[in-house]
Amino acid sequence: MNLLSIQRHIARAVMTPLTPSERMRHVAPNGRSQRAVANEIIKPNDRLTSFERLEIYNRQYWFRILSGFSEDFPGLRVVLGDRLFDKIAQAYLKDCPSRSFSMRNIGAKFGSWLRNPPHFAGSRQQLALDIARLEWAEINAFDGKRYDALRPEDFTNASPAKLRLKLQPHLSLLDLKYPVDDLVLRVRKDSTELSIASNTLSERHKGKRSVSVAPLLKPTPIFLAVHRMDEDVYFLRLEQKEFAILSRLRNGKSLGAAIEGVLRKNAMPDEECLLLIQKWFQNWSALGWFYRGTTDSTNS
């Protein structure tokens, strides 16, 4: 057996989900005996069998990856409770195993996965989805790419009909059914306060202290920008029209086409709306959300 084959055998064994009692399974997903696999690739020692040595890595892999997933989605854990959250986490990681060298990317597919049946969260499915999307957007905002932002003078002689602006990769635009930004910030605050009070408190204890905020949350649609500024992550609520313009820009529309689409559906006078858009645009520019794309002679 060559090195590549050994590495693949170990990876498959290590990434195989644990039993409900958190032990290594005796049968691999392909039906082969894990003990036979272990005997082929790992030597026993005077204390442990080959299977027991491989089991150490299998268990530590899952303990670490589940712990990392829990750290990435603390608000969701608060709302769902430990048992249901752990069930969802294990199901997700079984369906979408890590393919990245970085723990950062564990939850990259979680939002899209959570949309599909079975809906583990029951009546809280939409709330869970909103929280998952927001908490992943936080991760993206924290370490997503940031290009040199356009300066105010860059727009001086630009034609709105031709100007195509790109939004920073670290910026996420979210249309949410629940005001989960307040909930997530509350969870962060409670967890921080508890950590300061006692470093020995468990994560489960922290979750139980915060869970009271979840039942009070009522459906209230919001539009949210999640972005990074001066190395800190911020949530910024947007007006619906504001969100619509930014979404059109992200989808490749020129600035003129993005504004025109909103004006076409606007109930207020065009002049009043244009003044409001100008104010928004100044704010977006100040926040450094734009970098230059390409220009085009056509108006999309």
Q: 75-128 pLDDT, tens per residue?
A: 999 999 999 999 999 999 999 998 888 999 999 999 999 998 888 888 889 999
Distance CA 244, CA 39 (A): 59
The predicted pLDDT at position 198 comes to 36
Contacts (Cβ under 8 Å, ≥6 apart) of 85:
70, 73, 76, 77
Report which DSSP code applies to 27. B
The predicted pLDDT at position 197 comes to 41
Distance CA 97, CA 118 (A): 18
The predicted pLDDT at position 293 comes to 59
The predicted pLDDT at position 190 comes to 75
Strand partners, 239: none
From residue 198, give the alpha-carbon distance in Å to each of 42, 194, 205. 42, 6, 11
Q: Is-contact 172 142, C-beta < 8 A?
A: no
Report which DSSP code applies to 153. G
278 CB neighbour count, 10 Å cutoff: 11
Query: Tell me: the pLDDT tens digits for 192-250?
Result: 554 434 333 334 334 444 444 555 678 999 999 999 998 899 999 999 999 999 999 99
Query: Tell me: the pLDDT tens digits for 40-58?
Result: 999 999 999 999 999 999 9
197 CB neighbour count, 10 Å cutoff: 9
Rounded to the nearest angstrom, the gap between the alpha carbon of residue 165 and the centroid of all alpha carbons in its chain is 24
Q: What is the pTM of this model?
A: 0.83
The phi, psi pair for 175, rounded to 5°, reads -105, 115
Q: Is-contact 291 297, C-beta < 8 A?
A: no
What are the start-end ranges of the H helices in the chain? Answer: 3-14, 34-41, 50-72, 74-80, 82-95, 110-114, 125-143, 180-197, 203-210, 240-250, 255-264, 270-286
The predicted pLDDT at position 93 comes to 95
Of 219, 235, 246, give the one whose Cα is nearest residue 186: 235
The predicted pLDDT at position 296 comes to 47
Task: Dihedral sign for Cα 39, 41, 42, 43, please.
Answer: positive
Contacts (Cβ under 8 Å, ≥6 apart) of 179:
217, 220, 222
Rounded to the nearest angstrom, the gap between the alpha carbon of residue 36 and the centroid of all alpha carbons in its chain is 39
Distance CA 149, CA 230 (A): 13
Q: How confident is the model at residue 262 (pLDDT cuts 50, 70, 90)?
A: confident
Of 259, 267, 272, give the one whose Cα is nearest residue 299: 259
Is the per-residue pLDDT at 3 higher than 70? yes
Task: Dihedral sign for Cα 110, 144, 284, 184, please.
Answer: positive
